[in-house]
A = this chain, B = another copy of it.
Amino acid sequence: MQVDAIREFMRESFPQAKVDVLTVGNKGSMLRQEIDFSHLRPGGTVSGPTLMGLADAALYVAILGEIGLVALAVTTNLNINFLRKPAADRALVAECRLIKLGKVLAVGEVYLYSEGSQEPVAHVTGTYSIPPKRDGN
């Protein structure tokens, strides 16, 4: 149910993105994104912003899985290392794990893969700022 609620929330929030939430919970998430021509770069590879966007979404979903859909968390820092050339004809898969979930900040890391490959194409660490809970709620 929680996965369904988060999927619905992501579809409404990000209608343009073709991101599918595979799993969420236990301080982690797994997302999958189909790759089409709009994501490609010259040389037949997936663009950097596509990779960054998927990693950012995976962090967001993992945080939503912990704090619920009410809060509006925002990314404050993202650091990405590009490791290998992604396949142009395969979906991307993101595996996210939160390594800190504080009251103010959440930090997580994400490995990105071309589907079916064991070698990550990129590694991301990101920080989200978590808004304070409102009094009276």
Contacts and interface: CB of A to CB of B under 8 A. Distances in A.
A107 B81 contact: yes
Interface residues on A, range: 35 or more
A48 B78 contact: yes
A76 B72 contact: no
Interface of A: 13-14, 16, 38, 41-43, 47-50, 52-53, 56, 72, 74-84, 99-100, 104-105, 107, 109, 111, 120, 123, 125, 127, 129
18 contacts: A13-B41, A14-B41, A16-B38, A48-B56, A52-B78, A76-B81, A76-B105, A77-B80, A77-B81, A77-B127, A78-B79, A79-B125, A81-B127, A99-B111, A104-B104, A104-B129, A123-B125, A127-B127
